[in-house]
A and B are shown apart, each in its own frame.
Chain A
Amino acid sequence: ETGVTQSPTHLIKTRGQQVTLRCSSQSGHNTVSWYQQALGQGPQFIFQYYREEENGRGNFPPRFSGLQFPNYSSELNVNALELDDSALYLCASSFYDSDTQYFGPGTRLTVL
């Protein structure tokens, strides 16, 4: 059984660019959540996907969007990057309504 994986590990972009981050959920998990963790802070919920539909969203602007694929893997897309988007982006997979979410190692995004 493989755990949650994320790619890439690190990424450097410039302001105004677009970025796509990827997450492969743990085997059998049908729900993926994305979190943003700024340096020195706790993670903040961006959104969750279940059965390829958005199932809850935090306080993030529409330029943060996502996808979930039939194999339950997921993408996080951020348009018009801003300096404050620099953060560690974490995805977590679970069974729907499960108490336990399993986190990936994260993607470190730096916006210059």
Chain B
Amino acid sequence: KQEVTQIPAALSVPEGENLVLNCSFTDSAIYNLQWFRQDPGKGLTSLLLIQSSQREQTSGRLNASLDKSSGRSTLYIAASQPGDSATYLCAVTSFKAAGNKLTFGGGTRVLVKP
């Protein structure tokens, strides 16, 4: 059974610092891994999707790496801004998962202080 863990559960940084968010998963037989952003009480916005054959993906200030063999992914957010304050969730799709379901971690709640 796939389990996804995110550490730390919460993170507070001053504006301008780089953010490093960690995600680990127990079964390396994944199809892809995604990072989502969730604002309080809202739905999820997809940030980056990494296929199992890829090592990283970049979009603007965001960079996500994937090490499938060790079951880890890291999301880097450069030069953080107060608008980056949100909960960040990682999710994996396992090969042959029923219904192409996403298995989520518990999220990291980020606060960027001005």
Contact = CB atoms under 8 A, between A and B. Distances in A.
Interface stretch (A13-21, A36-44, A67-75, A78-86): A36-44
Given A42-B4, A42-B105, A99-B49, A56 B97 contact: yes
A43 B44 contact: yes
A110 interface: no
Given A96-B100, A99-B93, A104-B43, 17 more contacts: A33-B100, A35-B104, A42-B91, A43-B91, A43-B104, A44-B104, A48-B98, A55-B99, A56-B97, A56-B98, A58-B101, A90-B43, A99-B49, A100-B46, A100-B49, A103-B43, A106-B43
A76 interface: no
A35 B102 CA distance: 9
B98 A101 contact: no
A88 interface: yes
Interface in A24-39: 31, 33, 35
Chain A interface size range: 20 to 34
A108 interface: yes
Contact of A90 (B44, B49, B97, B103): B44
A97 interface: yes
B99 A33 contact: yes
Given A42-B4, A99-B32, A100-B49, A33 B41 contact: no
